[in-house]
Amino acid sequence: MGSTHEKAQLVSNKTHYSPHDPDARISVKPGKARKLNYHCSMVVDTARGVISHVQADFADGRDSQSLPNLASQVQRRLKANSLLMQEVLADAGYSNGSNYFMLEQRGITGWIPVFGMYKPEIAGFPYDKDNDRYICPMGKPLPFKGFDRTADGRLQRNYWAAPQDCSQCASKPTCAPKARCRKITRTAYDEQYLRAYARQHSRRGKRMKKLRQSTVEPVFGSLVHQ
């Protein structure tokens, strides 16, 4: 009995495109087939359910990348009608530090949940805000050492302990087993994340989540399915 094996082909923007619609991009959602499409964002007024802005972006980008232009367009339109945008409700897909910072700079309160991976504290390493440093369980400081960027461009802050402090520490085999010293990396927008995290877990934050789910998401769902 013979057998044949076919190689699975990964469908991506490097292998597929539409000659009739070259701006369409491959996007991936859990449980759905990969296909060429666009990413659509919509702004809805929670009081009346009025759609105040619709925007199409490349489907291979993140939701969060579309928020600055969404905010600018809606703000401009509201201002032209003597109205103010004071609060924004969105899901966690629109969460990132630069967005929180942008909204604060514009005087807008962002009710946007932080990603589940974000931790407001580092267990055993309390933050000393006055001196911009962390303190390890043995009482040694990890001062701020500078900024760098991740591969996808996110700005981060680095904190390092002194190598001589770690080399003499009995906890090094478990605290920093493969490095000369313990290092902590935090987003450069940690203060904005902390404020967003506090809003998210407040009583009003929970009400805002329910408000978004009951007013904004049904409008979008109706357009998608009907």
DSSP annotation of 8: P
Residues 155 and 189: beta-carbon distance below 8 Å: yes
Residues 196 and 112: beta-carbon distance below 8 Å: yes
Of 67, 15, 62, which is closest to residue 196 (Cα–Cα)?
Answer: 67
Tokens 């600018």 sit on residue? 72
The residue type found at 198 is A
Give the count of beta carbons closer than 10 Å to the beta carbon of residue 1: 2
Structure tokens at 203: 């009583």
pTM: 0.83
Does 154 have pLDDT greater than 70? yes
Mean residue pLDDT across the chain? 89
Of 165, 167, 145, 164, which is closest to residue 156 (Cα–Cα)?
Answer: 145
Q: Domains of the chain: which residue ranges?
A: 25-112+193-225, 127-188
| Residue 10 pLDDT grade (very low, low, confident, very high; cuts 50, 70, 90) | low
| Residue 7 pLDDT grade (very low, low, confident, very high; cuts 50, 70, 90) | very low
Over residues 43-59, the mean pLDDT reads 90
